[in-house]
Amino acid sequence: MTYPHPILAREGWPFIASSVLLSVLVWALAGFWWSLPLWVLTLFVVQFFRDPARPIPKDPFAVLSPADGRIVAIEHAFDTYAQRDALKISVFMNVFNVHSNRAPVDGTLRAVQYFPGKFFNADLDKASEQNERNALVIDSAGRVVTAVQVAGLIARRILCYVKAGEALQRGQRFGFIRFGSRVDVYLPLGSQSRVSIGDKVYASSTVLADLAA
């Protein structure tokens, strides 16, 4: 299943509608100044659920960022989802980032694995192993790339719209995490990172790394 980029994510429509309705109701019953905090909340909800279109690099060896946010980890780690040593790159999303998740590479989904867990701050390293998470193991022309959606302190809902066996295209929208979270990407050893700790990245348009040949 493919998803267009409708400026505002479909996941946010009920939240936006409810916030606008409540703001209008308070304005009508109590006046504008009483409703002003609710209008500010409405603006926050709208910005959280924005889902802009992005340019997608065509380099077949480029691994694209699956999320907007800030790089918080670049390290060698064990990928428990694909059972191998890997290069791990982690993107932390705060409440002001776009939370639409998009495929980092072209490929076929070997597995989609969901794990219940805790809700530590997603900026912490232990969140990768202990928080609620959903892992996508992607076979990209014989190279395995794993993307893991990780819930955070405020995020309480991971949404994933793809299943094992489906084909993914780079930049394709595959899921959403509500209200602050993290995405970990595991790459074959020998892959070369093109980002540094603290860098801001953008889903689909920022290249995280070059895949090992």
Q: Which one of 140, 181, 191, 193 is the catalytic residue?
A: 181
> Where does the chain show beta strands of DSSP type E?
7-8, 50-51, 62-64, 69-79, 84-93, 100-102, 107-115, 133-140, 143-151, 158-160, 167-168, 173-177, 181-188, 192-193, 200-201, 207-210
181 included as an active-site residue: yes
Q: How far is 171 from 66, CA to CA, in rounded Å?
A: 8
Residues serving a catalytic function are 181
